[in-house]
Amino acid sequence: MAWTRGGARSARGVWDLDEPRIRPDRSYFGCSFVCDDDSFPAHGAVMWQWTLGRIVTAVVGAGLEIRQLDEYAEPFWRMGDIDAAAFRGRLPNAFTLVARRPAGR
């Protein structure tokens, strides 16, 4: 996301890597970073949670044309043995966004 406008802005995470549950005290729409330590998924990574709306707005704001946007119920990662609505196909878990820079730009 570094190439998009607002790439340094963040949203607070709903998931907590040290908790075996979704954190109801966290907000999908929050405004702080998720994690900047040596924890999963990559040592030394800085993790940010963006809403889908913020991602799409950043892509369009960078001058790209959105060609495709799809959401998927299948989780790309499950937190242990947790059973949640998101894992039963009732909430989107992942998305694909295909964008391109318009010709001549």
pLDDT, tens only, 31-42: 666 555 555 555
CA 28, 12, 101, 73 dihedral sign is: negative
pTM of the model: 0.57
Q: Note whether residue 34 is domain-resident.
A: yes
Q: Note whether residue 5 is domain-resident.
A: no
pLDDT score, position 69? 97
Q: How many domains does the chain contain in total? A: 1
Task: Give the DSSP letter string of 43-100.
Answer: TT--B----HHHHHHHHHHTTPEEEEEEEESS-S---TT---GGGGTSS--EEEEEEE
pLDDT at 100 > cutoff 60: yes
What is the residue range of 53's domain?
Answer: 13-100
Q: Note whether residue 41 is domain-resident.
A: yes
pLDDT score, position 8? 33
Average the pLDDT over 4-11 and give the result: 38
pLDDT at 16 > cutoff 60: no
Average the pLDDT over 25-52 and give the result: 64
Q: Note whether residue 2 is domain-resident.
A: no
Q: Please list, in sequence order, all residues whose beta carbon lies within 8 angstroms of the beta carbon of residue 83, skipping any fewer than 6 positions away.
A: none
